[in-house]
Amino acid sequence: MKKKILKLLALLTALILIFGLGWTANSLVGNPVSKYLAKKGAEKYLSEKYPGTDYYSDETRYNFKDGTYHTEVKSPSSIDTHFTLSMDMAGKLCWDSFGQVEDKSTTAFRLDGEYRDLAGRILESPSFPYKSDIMYGTLEIHPREDIYAAHGSDGINHPADLDIPAYSLVQEDLDLDSLYDIRQLGAQAGRLVIYMESGTATVEAASKTIWDIKQSMDHAGVPFQAMEFHLQEPLPEDGSQRKEGIDVLNILYKDIQEDHLDDLVERADKEAKAYYAALDKGLGSEEKE
């Protein structure tokens, strides 16, 4: 009798372990049956929601974060038409991201990638005079509503609005699938973001570096509208706090002139420090509340 009980307990333990492992695996990677149902559900949804199109489900993956399957949808005739369908384990739709195609988010993403690649060929080149882990170019493209909220009707770029510069391109004005002159867009709305370390983080050192970068980009024929630049000294080996460096949150290409660059960088650094202090003060107030 005792042996039978032990066998039953062992069998029950094994079943619990198998169930637990299966449940864990299902939570992390899904299962073939649910994946099949999700893929078929996505295909059925596409045929009903977007009849007469050439949209097709390219790949279905399990998302362990929300327990759904994400089906990537593409169009062979449209470079900017790609979106995601989220399906539950029974193959029913949870959400459809086609709105990103309609509001031109996918077009903006494509153009930003093209400019990033263009700038990256210079910033990441072995012949580029400076090295850093954070150096890239980006196109400032934002929804009309966000640009208006940041700047109103005057279009003036205030320090507090640096997340959405006044020179930003309006996302909704982009044309789906259109080929743009990426250099022209860079001249209109390209921004370089540069973080660097130097043994001497001074206004003079920052000015020289900004000027050298401008010269390199000009020589390579890569236009930009503005630059964000940060120069810091390396972290002390003794573990002490890093000294404050030079921060230029927004300097326009047209203002980068060698003869008065030191004054401009010094003023921009003071504005950046004031901006950061205001942000810290605001965050501190929120924490108290």
All structural domains of the chain with their residue ranges: 32-101, 105-288
- Residue 279 tokens, joined: 């942000």
Q: What distances in angstroms separate CA 258 from CA 11, 64, 124, 129, 261, one per listed residue?
A: 81, 53, 24, 18, 5
* 200 pLDDT tier (thresholds 50, 70, 90): confident
Report the pLDDT averaged over residues 79-99: 95
The reported pLDDT for the residue numbered 213 is 97
Whether residue 22 has pLDDT greater than 50 = no
The pLDDT value recorded for residue 1 is 57
Kindly report the pTM of this predicted structure: 0.82
Residue 287: the pLDDT is 47
pLDDT the model gives residue 154? 54
- What is the band of 31 on the pLDDT scale with cuts at 50, 70, 90? confident
> What are the angstrom distances between the C-alpha of 134 and each of 74, 141, 192, 229?
32, 20, 10, 10
In this structure, of 52-56, 174-178, 198-202, 240-244, the range with the lowest mean pLDDT score is: 240-244
Confidence of residue 150 (pLDDT cuts 50, 70, 90): confident
Lowest mean pLDDT among 34-38, 232-236, 264-268: 232-236
**pLDDT value at residue 225:** 97
Kindly state the tokens that stand for 173. 């004005």
Residue 274 CB neighbours (<10 A): 11
* pLDDT of 30 above 70: no
Percent with pLDDT over 70 in the chain: 81
CB neighbours (10 Å) of residue 231? 25
Q: Which CATH number fits domain 32-101: 3.10.450, 1.10.3470, 3.40.1350, 3.40.30?
A: 3.10.450
List helix spans (H) across the chain.
2-29, 32-49, 99-102, 105-123, 144-151, 182-189, 203-220, 261-288
What's the CA angle centered on 257, arms 219 and 196, to 5 degrees? 70
Question: What's the rounded mean pLDDT across residues 202-207?
Answer: 95
Please report which confidence band the pLDDT of residue 264 belongs to, taking 50, 70 and 90 as the band edges. Answer: very high
Copy the structure tokens of residue 233.
């000294």
Average pLDDT over residues 234-260: 83
Q: Residue 257: helix, strand or coil by DSSP?
A: coil
Q: What is the pLDDT of residue 238?
A: 62
Lookup: tokens for 215? 């010269």
DSSP summary character for residue 158? -
Q: Hey, what are 238's tokens? A: 């003794």
pLDDT at 281: 78
